[in-house]
Amino acid sequence: MKHLKVDPIKEGTVIDHIPANRGLQVLSIIKPDNKAVVTMGINFSSKKYGRKDILKIEDRELTASEVNSIALVAPNANVIIIRNFEVVSKTAVQIPDIIKNSARCGNPKCVTNAEESSTRFTTVSRSPVRLRCDYCERTFHIDELKVR
Amino acid sequence: MKHLKVDPIKEGTVIDHIPANRGLQVLSIIKPDNKAVVTMGINFSSKKYGRKDILKIEDRELTASEVNSIALVAPNANVIIIRNFEVVSKTAVQIPDIIKNSARCGNPKCVTNAEESSTRFTTVSRSPVRLRCDYCERTFHIDELKVR
């Protein structure tokens, strides 16, 4: 690609290197309000990964909890914060050892589903992403969990 | 805006002037396959409408049935076909008088829902979009119908 497919933004957040076709899932984690200016690219060229998705949200920075949820579905993503057209930080997301409330347990009989209560997982592996529910002790591939 | 937020594409379709926050709904009508290169803008500036969504799908032209479904959720949209970076056609979508199979009836007791059969609506008004089911004869605002 000779040039970027999506123009720079003045203020906001860019989430780059989302795995191809995971952009919509990341968008649903961020839940932009209905005034938010968002640009999403799906299946864009990536030197590093072949294909990638990318998301830009103007005038918005993410919470730590949102970044943790994004890490689960896009473990190689970078979160880039832009102020006045300048990159002020670029951080690789990281799956923490303990994940609180970012995902629902995939076991319908787990107590955390019965009570719609808080959840807690321990990271078993990061590539592929596999998490163990601290309540029912079952281990799941990330695609078996609903990330929120 | 001094320049476009999203770059031109070589071959494909641009759907412009989608009402703000309806882009995801249009995307779900088009159902791009998982190799499709898609760019979506949400809440972009529009001289005509204040805010708009925009969708670009590379290497894809739409079927008449897809265009009819898009018209229901984005009645002022333009469908622009691009070949070799040139606009070869620009068409305002239009809600036809009779709409076949683009939407499910909003009446759970309608025979078309019981049998998952084909559907048929008559356009009652275009602004706002209101359609009458030819089977159960109930009239619905477009937001009460599931467009597919």
Write the residue in A5, A21, A37 that is nearest to B43 by C-beta.
A37
Q: What is the ipTM of this complex?
A: 0.87
* Residue A10 reports pLDDT greater than 60: yes
- What part of B 33-52 touches A (C-beta under 8 Å)? 34-44
Report, as an integer, the average pLDDT of A14-37. 95
Q: Which residues of chain B are within 8 Å of residue A41 when distances are taken between CB atoms?
A: 37-39
Note the pLDDT of residue B49: 86
| pLDDT tens, position by position, B67-98 | 999 999 999 999 999 999 999 999 999 999 99
Parallel/antiparallel/unpaired status of strands A120-126 and A98-100:
antiparallel
Note whether A6 contacts B5, CB cutoff 8 Å. Answer: yes
Per DSSP, the residues of B49-117 read TEEEEEEEEET----HHHHHHHHHH-TT-EEEEEETTEEEEEEE----SEEESSEE-S-TTSHHHHTT-
Write the residue in B3, B41, B43 that is nearest to A35 by C-beta.
B43
How would residue B138 be classed by pLDDT, with cut points 50, 70 and 90?
very high
The whole model's pTM is what? 0.88
Residue of chain B with shortest Cα separation from A45: B37
Q: Is B6 on the interface with A (CB under 8 A)?
A: yes
Note the pLDDT of residue A9: 86
User: By the 8 A CB rule, do A112 and A55 touch?
Assistant: no
Q: Is B101 on the interface with A (CB under 8 A)?
A: no
How would residue B131 be classed by pLDDT, with cut points 50, 70 and 90?
very high
Query: What is the C-alpha separation between A113 and A86, in angstroms, rounded?
Result: 43
Note whether A4 contacts B6, CB cutoff 8 Å. Answer: no
Size of interface A-B (CB pairs under 8 A): 57
Q: Which residues of chain B are within 8 Å of residue A20 when distances are taken between CB atoms?
A: 34
Note the pLDDT of residue A5: 59
Note whether A38 contacts B42, CB cutoff 8 Å. Answer: yes
Note the pLDDT of residue B2: 39
Write the residue in B4, B20, B38 that is nearest to A43 by C-beta.
B38
Q: Is B3 on the interface with A (CB under 8 A)?
A: yes
| pLDDT tens, position by position, B46-64 | 988 899 999 999 999 999 9
Note the pLDDT of residue B116: 75
**Among candidate residues A115, A105, A102, the one with its CA nearest the CA of residue A144:** A105
Query: What is the C-alpha separation between B132 and B105, in angstroms, rounded?
Result: 9
Judged by average pLDDT, the poorest of A3-7, A30-34, A73-77 is A3-7
Note the pLDDT of residue A6: 62
Note whether B21 contacts A3, CB cutoff 8 Å. Answer: no
Q: Which two tokens stand for residue B137?
A: 């004869």
Sign of dihedral through CA atoms A127, A133, A136, A142?
negative
Note the pLDDT of residue B1: 35
Q: What percent of chain B has pLDDT over 90?
A: 86
Note the pLDDT of residue A49: 86
Which residue has tokens 């589903």?
A: A113
The residue count for chain A: 148
Query: What is the C-alpha separation between B96 and B92, in angstroms, rounded?
Result: 12
Q: A5, A45, A85: best mutation site toward chain B, by most B Cβ within 10 Å?
A: A5
* Residue B5 reports pLDDT greater than 80: no
* Residue B33 reports pLDDT greater than 90: yes
Report, as an integer, the average pLDDT of A36-45. 95
